[in-house]
Structure 1
Amino acid sequence: MRIYISVDMEGITGLVDRDDVQPDGRDYERGRSMMAEDVNAAVRGAVAAGATEVLVNDAHGPMRNLLPEALHPAARLVRGKPKKMVMLEGLTAQDDAAVFVGYHARAGALGVLSHSFMGHEIEDIWLDGKPVGEIGLAHATAAALGVPVVALTGDDVACAEMTAWDESVATVPVKYARDRFAAELRPAEEARRAIEEAVAGALAPAPKRPAPPEGDATLAVRWQSASVPAVLLGIPGVTATDSRTVQACGQLPALYRQFGVWMRVAASLTSQPPYC
């Protein structure tokens, strides 16, 4: 059984602030250690359920947060960037299931460190007219590959967002949002035990593969800066719905990969801090 794990950082046990998750933050080194422990709990759960291959993708910020020597020896690690598939680099149709660790709520939600991909620059995202963030877009892309997402960890708001998107996904709230930079924390050992048990339980019996989507999907993104859409309109197939919103139609996962290009364009044009 092949298991894929995408790991973000904002939804990791104990982390609540920019200083916990950004390389220049005073508590970042502690944060990356906490990140490794949550991932390792998920790996242990996968191995207990019979996984023979586990691939972990470091999907946060610089994508060099996880130290290879801190990772469970049963897992391989995808580290660094750029990555063509960003948060889903390495996911293939041959994977039997996907697990999302340390995910957070979308922009505008009152969840811990909530945002959508680019901190303050992306205001809203819609997939086929439905508001979506990193959780929903990653889930839809995995489903398009025929890979079921079986478990997600993060704060309670992220867990609720996942349940609203797909109630069959096992969710593990490792903290409970009090505001965007404050939370009530579960004890670390308790949270990791819950992660391990949830992943093991979600993989037994073998997850059912989702049906492939029919037709094209439409992805729309509203940016803070009008300069980003102005440049993105140079990409064939990208159209504007207003001065700050662009959209494109296509098949997932190709559309997700194109969105990664949009973000690289936006990053070259703006200098917004992640959590302002």
Structure 2
Amino acid sequence: MRIYISVDMEGVTGLVDADDVQPGGRDYERGRLMMAEDVNAAVRGAVAAGATDITVNDAHGPMRNILPESLHPAARLIRGKPKQMGMLEGLLPEHDAMICVGYHSRAGTLGVLSHSFMGHEIEDMWLDGRPVGEIGLAQATAAAIGVPVAVLTGDDSACAEMAEWDASVTTVAVKYARDRFAARLRPAQEARAAVEEAVAASLAAVPKVSEAPADPSVLTVRWQSASVASTLLGIPGVTSADTRTVQAQGALPGLYRLFGVWTRVAASLTNQQPYC
């Protein structure tokens, strides 16, 4: 069994603030160890279910958060950036299932450290008219590749968002949002035991998904900055909905890769901290 794990940081056990998840933050070093422990719980669950090939993609920020020596030896790590497929780098049709660890809810929701890819630079996103963030876009792209999402971990807001996209996905709430930078935490040992158990149980009965037809989708993004939207119009196929909103049509996963180009262009034009 081949398993792919995409790991973000905002939805990790115990983490609630920018200082927990940003390099240079006063609690970042502790946060990256907490991140590794949540991943290791998922890896242990995958091994218990019979996984023989486990790929972990460090999908947060600089994508150099997990210390290789802190990762479970059964897993292989994809680390660093740039990556053409970003948070889904290395996901292949040959994988039997994907696990999302430490994910967070989309921009505008009252979830812990909620945002969509770029802090407040992205105000809203829609996929085929549905509000979407990192969770929905990852699920839709994985489905297009032919890989089911088996488990997602994060706060209760992230779990609810996943349920809206695919109710068959097992979710594990490791904390419960009180506000954007506050949560009621599950004890770390309890949360990780729940992650391990959920992964083991879900992978034992994960369905096989055929690669979805390459029907075109429409991705729409509303930016905080009109300058970003204007610059993106220089990319072939990108059109304007208004002065701050752009969209493009194409088949996933190609559209996901194109969106990664948009975020790199936006990052080159702005110097904003992601959790202002």
User: Is 1:184 matched up with 2:184?
Assistant: yes
Match of residue 138 from structure 1? 138
User: Is 1:212 matched up with 2:203?
Assistant: no
User: Residues 68-87 of structure 1: matches in 2 within 5 Å?
Assistant: 68-87=68-87
Deviation at 1:35, TM superposition (A): 0.3
Equivalent-residue separation in structure 2 for 1:82 and 1:211 (angstroms) = 26
Match of residue 250 from structure 2? 250
Deviation at 1:24, TM superposition (A): 1.1
> CA-to-partner distance for each residue in 1:136-176, whole Å, 9 max, x for gaps?
00000000000000000000000000001100000000000
Match of residue 166 from structure 2? 166
Equivalent-residue separation in structure 2 for 1:238 and 1:134 (angstroms) = 20
Equivalent-residue separation in structure 2 for 1:247 and 1:85 (angstroms) = 19
Match of residue 25 from structure 1? 25
Match of residue 59 from structure 1? 59
Deviation at 1:208, TM superposition (A): 2.6
Contact 2:214 2:251 in 1 (8 A): no
Match of residue 155 from structure 1? 155
How well do the aligned residues superpose, as a CA RMSD in angstroms? 0.8
Match of residue 42 from structure 1? 42
Equivalent-residue separation in structure 2 for 1:250 and 1:166 (angstroms) = 22
Residue 12 of structure 1 aligns to a residue whose secondary structure is coil
Equivalent-residue separation in structure 2 for 1:113 and 1:252 (angstroms) = 27
Equivalent-residue separation in structure 2 for 1:160 and 1:78 (angstroms) = 28
Q: TM-score, normalised by structure 1?
A: 0.99
Match of residue 266 from structure 2? 266
> CA-to-partner distance for each residue in 1:100-151, whole Å, 9 max, x for gaps?
0000000000000000000010000000000000000000000000000000
Equivalent-residue separation in structure 1 for 2:109 and 2:187 (angstroms) = 24
Amino acid at match of 1:178: R
Deviation at 1:77, TM superposition (A): 0.1
User: Residues 117-128 of structure 1: matches in 2 within 5 Å?
Assistant: 117-128=117-128
Identical columns (%): 77
Amino acid at match of 1:186: R
> CA-to-partner distance for each residue in 1:21-71, whole Å, 9 max, x for gaps?
000100000000000000000000001001010000000000000000000
Q: Which runs of 5+ in 1 are unaligned?
A: none
Relative to structure 2, which stretch is displaced further, 75-84 or 214-223? 214-223
Deviation at 1:213, TM superposition (A): 3.8
Deviation at 1:214, TM superposition (A): 5.3
User: Residues 211-250 of structure 1: matches in 2 within 5 Å?
Assistant: 212-213=212-213, 215-250=215-250
Match of residue 112 from structure 2? 112
Deviation at 1:272, TM superposition (A): 1.3
> CA-to-partner distance for each residue in 1:193-232, whole Å, 9 max, x for gaps?
0000001111112423155145200000000000011111
Equivalent-residue separation in structure 2 for 1:193 and 1:84 (angstroms) = 33
Contact 1:148 1:210 in 2 (8 A): no
Equivalent-residue separation in structure 2 for 1:129 and 1:213 (angstroms) = 19
Q: Which runs of 5+ in 2 are unaligned?
A: none
Equivalent-residue separation in structure 1 for 2:41 and 2:93 (angstroms) = 24
Relative to structure 2, which stretch is displaced further, 207-216 or 136-145? 207-216
Residue 112 of structure 1 aligns to a residue whose secondary structure is coil
Amino acid at match of 2:42: A
Q: TM-score, normalised by structure 2?
A: 0.99
Amino acid at match of 1:47: V
Residue 55 of structure 1 aligns to a residue whose secondary structure is strand
Equivalent-residue separation in structure 2 for 1:207 and 1:44 (angstroms) = 20
